[in-house]
Structure formats: structure tokens, C-alpha cells
Structure 1
Amino acid sequence: MRALGRVLVVWAVASATLAALAGILPDFRLQSASGDSPTQIAITASVGAGAFGLLSALVWPVIVRALLLVPALVLGLLVFFLNGSLLWAALDLAPSGRAEIQPATAVVIAAVMSATSSATSTALAVRDDEAYGRRLARMAGRRRGDGATGAPGTVFIQLDGVGHDVLREAVRPVTCKGRTKPPAMETVAGWLDTTHRLLPWVTDWSSQTGASQLGILHGSNQDVPAFRWYEKETGQVMVSNRPSSAAELERRAVARTGRPGLLAVDGASRGNLFTGGAEQLALVMSVAAQRGRFTRSRSGYFSYFSDPAHAVRTAASYIADVGREIGQSTRSRMRREQPRVKRGGLYPFLRAFATVVERDVAVAAVIGDMLAGRTAVYADLVAYDEVAHHSGPRSRDATQVLEGLDRAIRLIADAARYAPRAYRIVLLSDHGQSHGETFAAAHGTTLKDLVRGTCGLALPGPARPPRTAGGAEARTAARAALRRPEKPETLLEPASEPVVLASGNLGLISFPDLPGRATREEIDRRHPALLRTLADHPGIGFLLVRSALRGPLVLGADGAEHELRTGRITGTDPLAPFSDGAAQAVLRTDGFPHTADIMVNSAYDPATGAVHAFEEQVGSHGGLGGDQSRPFLLHPMELRGPERPPVGAEALHDVLSGWLEPRLRPEADRSEARATH
């Protein structure tokens, strides 16, 4: 009876909304040309609202499922038109000659009615736990699990790119002009030191999502030297967030470890680069090219967009965020803020895809997983990382995104109350971000042009920083959602010319015609001035090369050298400005089969934390230096955490595995032991 009462109230509100709009909008009426009594108008409004509600409930899911055959972003753009079409069809069922509406007006009215009905239904259900749980389940497109399942489940929420210190700042109240404002992340602030414990962890040299998430989910990130790298034996450029590359990296990790991944037992992977061994997948890049019911990258969109109210809200939020980005970038240009990069073209739309569409769909999927009682869920929210790349890690733009992420975390935590089992929510990040002026802006040349010029090769023209996506996953995720084919990174240079790639503030230089790993001696014979020019450049912190006689060498300015195998240092240690574990991280990368002939880490200023990205990013990650190497782990106090910060993504995998599978506790103990060295 209570459910029937809610339906009648929502129907009445929708009917009143329809009648009110008929009185306001000139292109819409609910009475015959000769006029009708208020009672007849009310009946017409009730019939139209009821028909619209039924069509939305019955026809809309069918339409959305059919539209899985077209790009997901196209679905978002068609939301308003489709909703208006349903209203137009519903009004055809009203008494003949009474309801008339123009197509454009139908779109507006349908959007208002969907929003009003959704708000009314939510308000009525908020005091009814069962009703609220069912609504959350509908939002995720899954049926609620039956009964308690005993042991608590675990939800891992990855806040992509949020560094430990940035999170610390986001949970503190802000005092401005004598007024104290609440922290940007109020929900997380309430957890800190009450129910949850916060600690940093240390990334590998390759501080980017591909390396970190592969290590976290699959226990191995061996041979992932950067975000993108060149493999000589195939002549291909591997890119961590490209579907084919992600699939190959996952295959290699599984073959290396002999285990399917962190989420293999009743797990779900949402919005990640890799599956983690989970069977329940949505928006996962490593399976984006597959065409199965549960593995299609776009399948996660159906469960969310099948509710027209959610579709309208997300579409409206998407449009609003596009406008917000245009306004923010315009203000940045007018204020002549520095450092600054271009934010035009498709970027506002890509940003909105990451901050709105991916977030909403991933959160809905996580809620559905909890209501279904899944054992382990891992979801990546990429919004902050995307915005921080272009606006800066501590910019006002990025802080506003953190506020939105906090609301998403609160929604997930609230939904856990209605799940059939208790859930432990773990927040973590895969890396941080370091700020700084780009290498090209600071020094008037790109790394590629510097290399080519020193090697005596022709330069293509005025120096322009490479407009690559770096660690930003939104661009490739949007292409996958649009069903666009992969955009290969073609190499136009002849085989005799060096290949220069960028991964944040980490550069990679390879010589395709030199088989295997080119040694320092070979490089010096071919290009005598190259290594010294790079090492002495003020924008470069150090180089990694391999000597045929002395093994892995770190080269710095003024002839400085650090022999990694022996620890012998000549001159000033090039690694001194970096973290204490820098030598160990660099030595590990030297052992990868696909490490570039020359690995270049930008300069780093310990006083300001600034680095120089080799691509067009004011907030970057990928190498060593500053906040990028210091992400965070926030876990419930009931879980036994490491005493010291884990070192490397593989060590963090051992910690998380120990929480999911007690029998793996020895692996977690080993990770703690490694962290102490």
C-alpha cells in the first residue's frame, strides 16, 4: 500500500507539473479549441502524465538497450530528444483534440517532468529504507541481493591522481578573510582518524595509472617503464590506456604471476584500465574491444541510462560542466595565470565526460555491486586527474572536482546501508601530480627537438609541446565509448632516427636501428654530444643509460655519475634532490626488457615541488619528483594496515590481497618487510 501511495503522489505531482507548464508555455495546451472545464483539463493532464510515466518505465529501457549499438556519447546527446518523443507519444493518448505540443517544447517539458518526478519519488522514499534501497538498485540496473552473506565485502575507490598531501589539504577547513569554510571533502574529513587511517605509499619510477593499477590489480607491473614506450622487436608504441595495449599488459601480468588478479573471487571492475580478474566488468579498457554481454566497454552505460531521470540529470550536468570549463579557462586567460596550457578544442567535452558521465556511471555500478552483495569491487574515478593536468593539482578548478568526488563517496557510503552485507570502503590513489611549467614553455624547445638538434637532424618547425594525453584516461575512454577505432601512434621517423616519447616529466629515447638496449658506448660513438648535452640541460634532472662496462648509470650535470650497482658516485649525486628510494626505483626499471636506450627525468625543485612535463600539462606525473610519487591509502581501522608506507604498486597489491584473503597474509607481511628497506 505504501508503494501504491508513492506512485499516486508522483503521478499527481507530474500531472500538476504538466498542467502548470501548459499554462506557462505558449506552444503547449491541454484543452480543446473551444475550451474545457478545469476538471477536463485535469483529466487530460493526468492521462498525459500517466502515459508518459508508463512509456518511460516500459519503453525507455528498450530504447537504451537498442542504443548500445551506437556510441554511448551519442546516447547522452539524444537523451533530451528521446524523452521529448516519449512525451509527444504520451499526449497522443489524451482525449482527441485537446493536447497539442510543438516538438521543441516537448523536449523541455519532458526534461522538467522527469526531474520533478525523480525529485518527488526520492523525497517520498528517503524515509523508507526498503524503497530507497530499491531505487538505488534501479539506478544501478541490478536486483538487490538476497539475505546477509556473512563476511563483509570491500569496495576500493581509486581517486585517480589525488596525491597524499592534496588529500590532506582537502580534508582541512579553510579560513579566508576571517571566515572558516568546511573542507572540500567533508565526508572523507569525517572518516579521517575516526573510522579510517590515512597513510602515503610510494609509486615506482613510472608514476602513472598504467603501471600503478596493473601492479595493484594484478600483482605485477614488470616491464612497464612509462605511460608509452617503444618496443624494438615489433616496432610498435605501447600506450597504457589504449585497449590493445592494456589487454596485452594484462595478459603479460597474468602469465608472469600465474594468478588472475585481485578481484578474481566474486569481484567487479568498474572504470579501470584492467579487469583485476573480475567477471563483472564495466568501462574496462583492457576488454573495450571485445563484444560480449559482460565485457563490452559500453555495457555499463545501459544500467544507468535506462532510468530517464538519471539520463536527463547526467546530460544536463554534462552540458553544465562543458560551460563551466569554458568559463574557467576564459578567466584563466584573462588573468594571465601561469603556468597555463591550451584548453580549447575538444577538451571541454572530454573533461565533462570524465567529471560527469564516467563518474555517474561508475558510481551507479558500484552501488549495484553492493546491493548485489559482491565480495570485492574496484572502481577508478578519473575526474580529478583529468582536470589537474590542465588546471593544476591545487587549482580552484581541481578543488571543485574534489568536492564532487566527495559527494560521490558519500552516495556510495549511504548506499552501503541497504546492501545485504556489511562493506568496508577503502579509498586510494594510483599516483599524485606535480605542478610546474612545461619543458617547452620554460626552455623554448621540446625534448624531441633538443634530441634531433643535437643529433644533427632537421627540425620540423617552431617548438610545440606534444599534445598527447599523458596520464589522462578520459580521451581514450571517450573514444572507446564512441566505438572509434584505436588511433595508432605512428612513427614517421626513418629507422635511423631516434624515437622520442613523453610520459609526463619522464622522457624516453630509443634508437630503432640499434638492436636490444643500446649502451652508453654505442650512443657516444654515434652521437658524441648527445648524452652530455642532455645531462647538462637545466630542465633535465638526470639520465639513465646502461654502460657495457659499468652497468646502469645515472648521469647528471657537470659530469656527475651514479653507478647503481656499486653505489659509487662521481661529483654531486644526480639523484640527491629526489626521494631516498630513487636509486632503487631507477635500478628496478633498468632491468625491464623494454626500458628505453635513454631514460630522461626532468629537473625537480625540492623547494617548490615543481617539475617540467615533456608534454602539454601543468599538472603531470610519470617520473620522479614531488607529489606525483606519493599517493595515498585510506583504509578502515578494522583492517590491519602496514606500519610503514608500501613501496611500489606490487607491495600495495600484497596489502590489499591480505585484506581480501586472510590466507595471503604472508604476502602482505612480505610487502611490509620490503617497505622497511
Structure 2
Amino acid sequence: MAEGNWRRAGHAAWRIAAVWAISTLTMLVLAGILPDFRLQSENGDSATRIGITAGIGAGVFGLLSALVWPFVVRALLLVPALVLGLLVFFLNGSLLLVALSLIPDGRGEANAETAVVVAAVMSAVASAASTALAVRDDDAYRRRLYRLSDRRRRRAATVAGPRTPGTVFLQLDGVGHDVLRDAVDKGLMPTVASWLGAPAEGAPAESGVPSHLLTPWRTDWSSQTGASQLGILHGSNHDIPAFRWYEKDSGEVMVCNRPASAAELQRRAVEFTGDGGLLTVDGASRGNLFSGGADQLALVLSVAARRGRANRSRAGYFAYFSDPANAVRTAMSFVAEVVREIGQSLRGRIRQVRPRVGRGGLYPFIRAFATVVERDVVVAAVIGDMLAGRSAVYADLVAYDEVAHHSGPRSRDAEQVLERLDRSLGLLAKVAEHAPRHYRIVLLSDHGQSPGETFRARFGLTLGDLVRAGCGLPVPRRARRTHSGAEARAAVRAALHRPVEEGVEQYRPAKDSEPIVLASGNLGLISFPDVPGRMTREQIDRRHPALLSTLANHPGVGFVLVRSERHGPLVLGARGAEIRLDELGEGADDPRLLGPLADFGPGAADAVRRTDGFPHVADIMVNSWYDPEEGEVLAFEEQIGSHGGLGGEQSRPFLLFPLALTPPAADGELLTGAEQVHRVLRRWLWETDGPQVPVAENSRPADQTEETFPVVGRAVEDKTR
């Protein structure tokens, strides 16, 4: 044992010396090519003296990066995450200036701008060199990852890891089943392809052995992350009619990606089900809207509004950015992504690509946050969870969803995001090989996206304008833009210390008698705030005789749901089409009986019927037109890839699971609804880690704080590149 310890110490000392030598050489090269970077006295020095000076500078800079940087970042924990990302370069440059000032006789000198460049290059080179040296020794590489893992559990994980497998649930936000299948067929996602048994490049076709199975599942009517993820993580999405909706009893607009609303929805789900969620037993929740009952939380929106010494909405950034190489790499990738988006948007405008939505303003930065910062931080968190040996991890990667909203779900822009996400999946799969327990990786999505131009672009007016016209109210001459429901915006605004959306005043009309119109993808909700309870068809007809017929007969509308005093829930369509939901039996799919619902496929009637029973369903629910041949819908928001209602691929997400787990449903059956998915995932946890004992959220300690996960992004990401 003692001999092994000495050998490991010797190897570690050799790697430190090698990285120091490489950093010294890098500093010498930079001093030779940068005119404002000097490593010698004004009278000149010998080559040996310059080399010694560079060695001192590189050594001091390395020590400062290892010892001082984490404290600097912790001191800046309450600084908005995006601002911290921009400060990374300047903080790193400041450390270099300090290191140069400590060189004897004033031989080190650089101006501020040059120091930023030199520090960034040296951090990147040191990171790459350290990782490359560790890769040559698997034991050293594994020990390095363990050192970066959860310190409180490191000893238990190193000595004897759990015998039962752990489970990692990775959610690719917005990736539909058919989109994933096509990406695999095109060779864009080799990691997923290998799980499905596709042979490696150059290998014979029969060499691939599948380890996973891919199956679709069907969402509820509200095909968006708020409803799906709440159902998946907490077992209930009861009374979630859309991404945003108006509640008459409180007079508030609930928005799924607003921290206060997410916290309330999670509280309701826990109260409704009686348990804390999917992750109550040794679980971790990363980058999600909801916690799932996990003790270990990072970038979870439902706790983003909480305040404290370890602010829960941003504490997850600390561990990642506490490594200067991580911070520099992510910041540089952020800038590159902003430039890439500007270039792609400009190319689309020059080529007159249709359909197209505006991609200016802050959108390039929002996209870069979702595709770079959020991805890097969440992936690093999951790596830490696996190295700590946690039983269950659920993480959401929102990159594809954000890009597909603005570029289209099958655009080249979105495909490039899938390629980068696949590399992250490959990274996690490699890290699993070094974890203290075996892990089963389950890949899933919460919904898909359906393409199509916006309602406003097609008809020159918004849904709100159409409603006002049907009510006989004045309509603005120019259609106004609608709000976007993209999930990534919530994470960005939380990181900037800004509310996700303003309050209800932005939705409230000038008079209480006028309707509130809200959009959730291609699903519209119309409520009359001055009428308590759900307004009936008869009441609507008496107040606004033309409204329902205006909506139902509009070519951009597929169907309208309203409740009648005499006939119960009714689905209205063009040319007077009308169907009573009560007359449709469970699972009724005969097109001849479905009327306006016929084009929306199997399960549409059940989905509409379930939503009709929610306490906070809107007075009028409007689903846009859908073209079953092209799979296109018309979004009521400014999105050319949308989700939120019925129609097309938005309702057809996927579940990719290891063969070792039992099938999610019997042959020929399709999982329907997020609550069914929750039951399947809970069953899989029972199969891998024993019975899961639900724990009510209100029984957890009130002073529970968010864990800051280990910094492992640099070590493992560079290894796989």
C-alpha cells in the first residue's frame, strides 16, 4: 500500500512539473509574439534568465488560479451569472497581472488588454495539458474526477460504491421522436446511434449490438415543459391547462417559467399526490423547472425565488465557474455562439428563408446561454452526481428547444445543436465508466415541436386581435408581437436577477369586461375576468353573439372548446361543426365521429376531455389549424417551431431506455400523458435501487440549502474531444 502511495505521489508530481513546463513554454511564446508582454528587464536578459522569469510567472499564476480563483468567484456568487461569465476574462487577467508583479526585479510586465489574452491562452493550454497527461493513466484520471466530486461523500464512494445501479434521466427538451430518429439516421448523433445498435463507422453492419430501445409517447393537450415535467417529476399535472393561463379566483396569470408560479405549481402537485416526487430518495435535480423532491438542487426554477446566503437560483454556477479554465472555455464558447447565431440569422435574411421570425435584440445572448452556459453547467452537475454515486438524477438540456423555436425543428441550426448535445451524452457515458456504481442512462423528451409559420404572419393579426374583432371591440391597425414561451428565457432572466415575466398587468385589458387572451404555442386561452367561474356558451353568446362563430370559422383555427349549460363540453369547428365530448367514449378515435378533432389523431378527444375537467380551464380554449399532411401548425406566439397544443410532432416525444429495464408499456400500447411516464420512471427506480419511499416535501428540513456540485467539466470534456 505504501509503495502504491509513493508511486501515485510520484506520478502526480511528474504531471504537475510537466504542466508547469508547458505553461512556462506557452508564456515564453506569448512574450515573443505579443509586443506589450515582457519577461525581461529593460536592459535585456540572457535566455536562461528569461526562462527562469517565465517559470516563476507560470508557477505563481497557476497557484493563484488554484487557490485564489475559487474565493473570488464565491465572493461574486450574487453577481448575475451572465455578468460573471463576462467578468471571467478580466478576473483571469487580473490574476496574471498579480503574478507578474511578484516576479523579482520587475521583469514581468503587460498592459491590461494583453494580460487578458495571455491569461485566457495559458488557462486553456494548462487545462488541455493536464487532461492529456491524466488520460494516459486511467487510475490517475479516475482519482482526479473523484477529487472533484462531492467531498462529503468521497470516502464512501471510493471505498465501496453502492451495489445497485443508479439511474440518470436526461431530458432533451423539445426533441420529438421522429426528429431524434432522423438525426440518428443522418449520422448526427453517433452516441445515441450506438445505444440503438448502429455499428461504429467503418465496422460491419452486423457488429452493432443495441443497449437501448426507443419508443414514442403521447403528451397531454398542453404539450409543453411545465405540464410534462411537472407530471414526470411529481406524478401530477392536474389543472395545468397551458403554458400560461388566467386564474379567476386569484386574479393572477400563472406562467410555468416564472419562479413564483413554478413554486406554486410544485406545491399543488405535492399536495395533490401526497409525496415529494420522483427524486426523493438520494436524488438530484439539475436545470429543471421543478425539483422532483430532490435534496440536491442546481438551477431549479421552482426554488429560484428563494433568497439566502447560498442563493438557490444561482449557487449552481459557483462550482462550475470556480475553475478558471472552465470559465474561460465557456465564456469563449458563449461569444462564438453569439457570433454563430448572428451569422445564421443574417444568412437566413439574405436568402429570404420562410417561415422566419425576428432573431435580433437579446436573442443571440439567450440562445448562447441555453446552448453553452446552461449545457456546460448542467452537464458538469450530472458528472458530479454520478461520481458521488447518487441513486437518481434528472437533468434538462434546453438547447435544442430554444434554437428550434426560432430556426425551425428540422433546420440546420437545430441539427447542429443536436450534434453538440450528442457529444455531451457521449461525455456522460464515458464518465459513467469511472463512477463508483453502475449507471443506467435513460434519455427522454418532454414534448416535440411542430413547424409552421406564425398566426400573425399568415393572417396579419394576432389571436387577441381576432378575439377583439369577434367581440366588436376596436382592433389595432398593426398586429402586436406576442410573448414567447421558450423555457430558456426563464433561466436567463433568473441568472440576471430579473423577473421571468412581469405580472398580470401586461395581460389585463383596459376594462374588466374585456377578455384576457393568452397564447401557449398553438394553443390559445380566452377568459373574461369579470365573470366568476367558467363562462358558458350561452353566456358568451348573449354578451358577444359573433365571437364563437368568428373563432370557429377562421381558417387559422382548428377547433374551439367551450362548455354549454345544456350539453356540457362542446368542440366547435368550421361551418357549424359541433361535437359533444360526453358522447365520445374513452379512446374514441373514429374520424367519422370526431368532427373537428378528426385531423388531430388518436387520443385527441381524451386529451381535450381531461383538460375540460380542470378547475382553471379557460372560458374558451382555441387550438390552431393543423395540416396532417405537412405536420404544420400556426403558432399564436412568435415561433416557427412551436408546442403547447395538439397537432403534429409536438405531441410525440420519445423515451430511450436500457434493455435491462422492463418495457414501459405492453406491446402495441402507447404511453399517454406525463403522469404515466412518471409511473414508469418510478417503477424503473424500484427495479434498479429498490422500493422508493415517497417523502412529502413539507417534511424536509426548512433550512435545506442547495448543494454546489463539483467542477468536472474541464477534466472530462477535454478528454473526449
Q: TM-score range by the shorter chain?
A: over 0.9
CA contact (8 A) 1:48 1:90 kept: yes
Alignment partner, residue 166 of structure 2: 153
**SS of residue matched to 2:599:** coil
Q: Distance in 1 between matches of 2:138 and 2:167?
A: 22
Q: Distance in 2 between matches of 1:294 and 1:405?
A: 30
Q: Does residue 340 of the first structure (1) align with residue 356 of the second (2)?
A: yes
Report matched runs for 1:177-326 at 5 Å. Answer: 183-193=187-197, 194-292=210-308, 296-326=312-342
Q: Does residue 99 of the first structure (1) align with residue 108 of the second (2)?
A: yes
Displacement of 1:106 in angstroms is 0.3
Pick the aligned partner of 1:488 from 503, 508, 516.
Answer: 503
**SS of residue matched to 1:576:** helix
Pick the aligned partner of 2:121 from 90, 112, 116.
Answer: 112
Pick the aligned partner of 1:613 from 629, 635, 655.
Answer: 635
Q: Does residue 656 of the first structure (1) align with residue 681 of the second (2)?
A: yes
Q: Greater CA deviation, 479-488 or 220-229? A: 479-488
**SS of residue matched to 1:69:** coil
Alignment partner, residue 379 of structure 1: 395
Alignment partner, residue 75 of structure 2: 66
Note the alpha carbon deviations across 1:153-211, whole angstroms, 9 max, x for none: 000000000000000001013xxxxxxxxx11110011014000000000000000000
State the AA in 2 paired with 1:185.
M
Alignment partner, residue 654 of structure 2: 632
**SS of residue matched to 1:573:** helix
The structure, 1 or 2, with the larger RCO (C-alpha pairs under 8 Å, 6+ apart) is 2
CA contact (8 A) 1:282 1:295 kept: no
| Structure 2 residues without counterparts, runs of 5 or longer | 1-9, 198-209, 586-590, 695-721
Q: Distance in 1 between matches of 2:584 and 2:484?
A: 36
Alignment partner, residue 462 of structure 1: 478
CA contact (8 A) 2:37 2:111 kept: yes
Q: Does residue 476 of the first structure (1) align with residue 522 of the second (2)?
A: no
Displacement of 1:227 in angstroms is 0.1
Displacement of 1:131 in angstroms is 2.7
Q: Does residue 540 of the first structure (1) align with residue 553 of the second (2)?
A: no
Question: Cα RMSD between the aligned structures?
Answer: 1.7
State the AA in 2 paired with 1:7.
I
CA contact (8 A) 2:298 2:312 kept: yes
State the AA in 2 paired with 1:37.
S
Displacement of 1:135 in angstroms is 4.0
Displacement of 1:132 in angstroms is 2.1
**SS of residue matched to 2:636:** coil
Q: Does residue 50 of the first structure (1) align with residue 54 of the second (2)?
A: no
Q: Percent identity?
A: 70
Q: 1:584 to 1:664 in 2, by over 3 A?
A: farther
Q: Distance in 1 between matches of 2:310 and 2:279?
A: 15
Pick the aligned partner of 1:525 from 537, 542, 552.
Answer: 542
**SS of residue matched to 2:57:** helix
**SS of residue matched to 2:102:** coil
State the AA in 2 paired with 1:90.
A
Alignment partner, residue 176 of structure 1: none
Q: Distance in 1 between matches of 2:457 and 2:439?
A: 47
Q: 1:141 to 1:59 in 2, by over 3 A?
A: farther
Q: 1:77 to 1:361 in 2, by over 3 A?
A: same
Displacement of 1:142 in angstroms is 5.4
Tell me the TM-score normalized by structure 2.
Answer: 0.89
CA contact (8 A) 2:599 2:626 kept: yes
Q: Distance in 2 between matches of 1:512 and 1:608?
A: 37
Displacement of 1:616 in angstroms is 0.3
State the AA in 1 paired with 2:190.
E
Q: Distance in 1 between matches of 2:59 and 2:504?
A: 53
Note the alpha carbon deviations across 1:480-519, whole angstroms, 9 max, x for none: 1111245324234111000000000000000111110001
Pick the aligned partner of 1:622 from 614, 625, 644.
Answer: 644
Q: 1:37 to 1:549 in 2, by over 3 A?
A: same
| Structure 1 residues without counterparts, runs of 5 or longer | 174-182, 668-677
Displacement of 1:464 in angstroms is 2.7
CA contact (8 A) 1:140 1:365 kept: no
Pick the aligned partner of 1:646 from 653, 671, 674.
Answer: 671
Q: 1:135 to 1:481 in 2, by over 3 A?
A: farther
CA contact (8 A) 1:139 1:303 kept: no
Tell me the TM-score normalized by structure 1.
Answer: 0.95
Q: Distance in 2 between matches of 1:104 and 1:416?
A: 41
**SS of residue matched to 1:641:** coil
Q: Distance in 2 between matches of 1:160 and 1:571?
A: 34
State the AA in 2 paired with 1:345.
G
Note the alpha carbon deviations across 1:418-463, whole angstroms, 9 max, x for none: 1110000000000000000101111111110011011111223301
Q: Distance in 2 between matches of 1:195 and 1:293?
A: 44
